[in-house]
Amino acid sequence: MAESKKSATLTIDGQSYELPIYSPTAGPDVLDIRKLYAQSGVFTYDPGFTSTAACDSTITFIDGGKGELLHRGYPIDQLASKSHYLEVCYLLLYGELPSATELEIFEATITRHTMIHEQMHNFFRGFRRDAHPMAIMVGAVGAMAAFYHDSTDINDPHQREIASHRLIAKVPTIAAMAYKYSIGQPFVYPRNDLDYAANFLHMCFAVPAEEYVVDPILARAMDRIFTLHADHEQNASTSTVRLASSSGANPFACIAAGIACLWGPAHGGANQACLEMLKEIGTPDRIPEFIARAKDKDDPFRLMGFGHRVYKNFDPRATVMKQSADEVLDLLGVENNPILQVAKELEQAALNDPYFADKKLFPNVDFYSGIILEAMGFPTSMFTPVFALSRTVGWISQWKEQLADPQMKIGRPRQLYLGTAMRDYVDIENR
Ligand code: SDX
């Protein structure tokens, strides 16, 4: 915990309270209000946690004003161009970039955990074929607690390690199986001779009837998408994982809770919603109509893939993702993709519109990812599952960090009660 070198004085009804202030490595100071209720009988009030630090962490730092994203101090654009996803996983989990030997051992470990218990295949067959892959992922990842009892004890460091490796290794297999199940194709087993991203593409797009060779450029683009989504400080789904973990729930239940939260269109579901929006716009000449709707207070429509609670300048992930979109579409010979054309013109129209500039609304990570994923052959229903499998390492890293925190206690927010004051029951004949 950072030490307090200064404090703030809060005065309520003539009574003053000293509140310690902690200064971080980077970012805003924090005001420690933990003793405020006990001392003053007053709660703080912050729906949506716009001004609340829920924990301390050493994993990821975001500077929304500068458009900075650091994982253990390393900028995301450097990791996206110089590293690869499993190395970033190691960095997030253990705090330092691995040596060549450490990386080799880690990659071999993850590779040999990619198969799932054969009995889980029967579990999959209980779903309808048209189930949304996210519904299957929430169920299947939660159900891992029913198949891997030997890694559910959160008080056993060895079991925490095994559960971490199993989740990072098996969630892509589950995501690929959810896709295969939805299109009526047989499951494709993981292959130990393929790297993480190539293995996922192979499990999604190979069929038993013929050999499927993964294009290395697409595998690289896939790996970059995984890296760009790996972790992102205390976002809604990570906070969900931390809250679930604070009750002592097993790791599979906690990650399933994170997947459930990520599914929402305001969060990880935005990549699917964004591409569906771009398709609804259809042609650049309809962009003004949708810009007007996004600005209309009486219209609930929002530009999906725009805006962010923290980034008020630009989302550094969107910048890298846009470059990747150009590369993948050039490779696939679809650089004239009409949807990409709409996306680029929409981005320019919004960035030049005072409404979006004043409200600091810029493209976020979800704006371009869907364009790449669709070009790769994924249906929109698989966009959020890709986000979820990428973010699993971030959730796990934050879960491990919280469990190791001696200050950890069950998360239990209070409320501003505006309901009816106490009253007596009225018998039905008197109502
Ligand atoms: C992710 O937290 C994370 O780190 C998340 C994430 C991660 O990696 O985990 O980065 C991933 O979830 C990215 C965000 C994906 N969601 C979308 O693209 C959905 C569209 N965006 C919005 O719903 C919204 O911008 C949020 C949810 C992302 C952020 O919402 P905030 O911070 O609560 O902001 P707000 O809703 O209070 O909006 C501020 C103003 C409002 O207008 P006023 O009430 O002040 O007049 O901006 C407007 C909003 O109406 N606004 C938008 C808008 N986003 C905000 N107007 C039009 N289009 C939009 N997209």
At position 206, the amino acid (one-letter code) is A
Q: What is the pTM of this model?
A: 0.94
Calculate how far, in angstroms, residue 373's C-alpha sits from the geometric centre of ligand 1.
Answer: 22
Please give the Cα distance from 83 to 71 (Å, whole number). 12
What value does the mean pLDDT take over residues 247-276? Answer: 95
SS3 344: helix
287 pLDDT band (50/70/90 cuts)? very high
Q: Is 366 a catalytic residue?
A: yes
Q: What is the pLDDT of residue 335?
A: 65
340 pLDDT band (50/70/90 cuts)? confident
**Catalytically annotated residue among 353, 366, 424, 427:** 366
Pocket around ligand 1 at a 6 A CB cut-off: 232, 235, 266-268, 270, 294, 302-309, 359, 361, 364-366
Where b means 16+ CB within 10 Å and e means fewer, 200-226 reads bbbbbbbeeeeeeebeeebbbbbbbbb
Q: What is the pLDDT of residue 405?
A: 93
Calculate how far, in angstroms, residue 222's C-alpha sits from the geometric centre of ligand 1.
Answer: 26
pLDDT above 90: residue 39 = yes
pLDDT above 90: residue 330 = no
Digit-coded pLDDT (tens) for 388-423:
999 999 999 999 999 999 988 999 999 999 999 999
Residue owning the nearest CA to atom 14 of ligand 1:
267
